[in-house]
Structure 1
Amino acid sequence: MAGRRQFDEQHTLGRILDVFWNQGYGATSMQDLATATGVQRGSLYNAYRDKESLFLRVFRDYADAFIAESTATLDQADPWRALEDFFDFTIGSMTRGTPARGCLSTKTATDTQADSEPIRAAIRAMLDRLEGVMAERLSREDASALLTVPPAEAARVLITMTRGTVVMERVYQDPERLRATAASLIAMVLGGRRPAAG
């Protein structure tokens, strides 16, 4: 039937996301995507137009999932625990795989072949959403009473830190080092050492 997908779209998009994530936007060709999915290039072009459109389609799903998981990690009664869980999630995401797959948004942002305005806008939108989620959690009374800077500024610093963490992971490949650095930043933002449990 005309206009109907002749392949399992969700499975195909999942495989395409994996290829972009592992190889990077610039290093990925439509033939790479066809090979990974088992879908002919012509069918991919007919369904999604071009590589950029296909990337933007899977990036939207990736961003939605990342924001949802980030929101869940921050939904803790204790602000310290919320931030620790958030960094555990982001560090776990970027260090998964062998070799570690890194962070799709940061990898794409630093890819010179991914510098079109639609791609930059998609990355900005994701980071803005992430900052918004973080600022909302830090605006709650339990966290705002501890903050050394206003919630919006703290959120920007923390999200910026996640981008730098990606680079440090590539250099040191040491998740514990990343977690220790995140713990130091959390202490700075929340105004001291984590209170002892009890």
Structure 2
Amino acid sequence: MARPREFDETAVLDAAVHQFWLYGYEATSVRDLAQSMGMTGASLYNAFGDKRSLFRKALAHYVAKSFGDRVSRFEQLPPRDAIVAFFDEIVARSISDEDRKGCLLINSALEVAPHDPEFQETIAGVLVEVEDFFRRCVSAGQRSGHISDDQSADDLARILLSTLLGIRVLARARPERALLTGLLRPVHALLGLQV
């Protein structure tokens, strides 16, 4: 009979996410992970496999808690409000990030995805989900007349995705409210939003 796990999986995954988020995949050792997770190296391997397997699980955990949670909250809003609230939260998180960690998904897209086909596919899949969220909002807003239909929903969704990526990368070096909100003003104008 298998022994029950003697740890809180959510808590240890949160600790793993924090390590990978602060230091990146390559610079994070199994020893660092085990220490931050409050586990021995053997327990970590028994529970999660190797570092790569743990990273896969930690990244999925991060995506569910950040993007998944954000979409479930904002998709219930009117489309215009959903887009504005999404970016307001991203700017607030970016400015309050004292460690300038950025976004683990985007950091991983830059560090891991170019060299690892599996993670490239995983990360690309999440970015498609983000784009799809924006497309749903834009399409609904265009149908209701609250978002401009001068551009296609596909093109506007891609602009919103690229703006999100730009904010999260730029904020690592320059987490300045005026700069980040300034990036959004032309996007709002293109969407026909008055904010």
| Displacement after TM superposition at 1:95 (Å) | 3.6
| Displacement after TM superposition at 1:113 (Å) | 8.3
What are the superposed Cα offsets for residues 49-71 of structure 1, whole Å, 9 maximum, x if unpaired?
A: 11111111121122123133134
| Displacement after TM superposition at 1:100 (Å) | 2.3
Q: Which residue of 2 aligns with 1:135?
A: 135
Task: Give the alignment of 1:74-153 within 5 angstroms.
Answer: 74-77=75-78, 79=80, 81-111=81-111, 115-140=115-140, 141-142=143-144, 146-153=148-155
Mapped partners of 2:102, 2:40: distance in 1: 28
SS of residue paired to 1:99: coil
Would you say the 8 A contact 2:15–2:37 is kept in 1? yes
Mapped partners of 1:185, 1:146: distance in 2: 11
Mapped partners of 1:114, 1:32: distance in 2: 24
Mapped partners of 2:133, 2:54: distance in 1: 27
Mapped partners of 2:184, 2:147: distance in 1: 20
Which amino acid is the alignment partner of residue 22 of structure 2? N
Would you say the 8 A contact 2:135–2:157 is kept in 1? yes
TM-score scaled by length of structure 1? 0.86
TM-score scaled by length of structure 2? 0.87
Mapped partners of 1:60, 1:98: distance in 2: 24
Mapped partners of 1:112, 1:69: distance in 2: 24
Percent identity for Structure 1 against Structure 2: 27
Gaps of at least 5 residues in structure 1 are none
Mapped partners of 1:3, 1:132: distance in 2: 42
Q: Which residue of 2 aligns with 1:15?
A: 15
Task: Give the alignment of 1:150-161 within 5 angstroms.
Answer: 150-161=152-163
What are the superposed Cα offsets for residues 53-99 of structure 1, whole Å, 9 maximum, x if unpaired?
A: 111112112212313313423533261x3322111122233344322
Q: Which runs of 4+ in 1 moved over 4 A?
A: none
What are the superposed Cα offsets for residues 93-126 of structure 1, whole Å, 9 maximum, x if unpaired?
A: 3344322221111111111587312211221111
Mapped partners of 1:115, 1:144: distance in 2: 42
Change (3 A) 1:112 1:72: closer
Mapped partners of 1:116, 1:137: distance in 2: 32
Which amino acid is the alignment partner of residue 129 of structure 1? E
Whose helix proportion is higher, 1 or 2? 2
Change (3 A) 1:129 1:103: same
| Displacement after TM superposition at 1:150 (Å) | 1.0
What are the superposed Cα offsets for residues 18-58 of structure 1, whole Å, 9 maximum, x if unpaired?
A: 11112211211111111101101111111111111111112
Q: Which residue of 2 aligns with 1:5?
A: 5
